[in-house]
Amino acid sequence: MSKTIEGALRQGITFDELLAALGGLSDGGKKLQVQVQARCVPYLRHKVVGWVDGPPTSSVVFVLSGADPKGGAWRRFTLSRSEGAYELACFPTAFHNEKDPLSPGIPPSSSRHQ
């Protein structure tokens, strides 16, 4: 299923658009269910700038970097597999460049300023 989801990922689309694309996918004939964590809602207008596979021992399928539409900040998003559904979550603290959100071990306060 991760290959199918990866096919829906596109740089430059908003997370709202990504959710719409994911909602059109099916998993074994059943419509893919994607839930959005409440603290993620204010950031759904961020644009996807990159993604990496999640850690193999985790329920995280993808870690995504999202650009603030106002510019100058990026946030870490995760798409995780849960019981019968997927969940989009966001780490609300901003990072200072688009690459650091893709490295889960890097806290926002230590990311490089541009």
Q: Nearest 10 degrees: CA dihedral of 67, 68, 72, 76?
A: -50
Per residue in 38-85, pLDDT tens? 999 999 999 999 999 988 888 999 999 999 999 889 999 999 998 778
CA 5 to chain centre: 11
Nearest to 86 by CA among 50, 48, 40, 46: 40
Measured CA to CA, the distance from residue 98 to residue 73 in angstroms comes to: 8
Per residue in 91-100, pLDDT tens? 988 999 899 9
Amino acid at 82: S
Amino acid at 37: Q
- Structure pTM? 0.89
Q: Nearest 10 degrees: CA dihedral of 45, 48, 49, 50?
A: 150
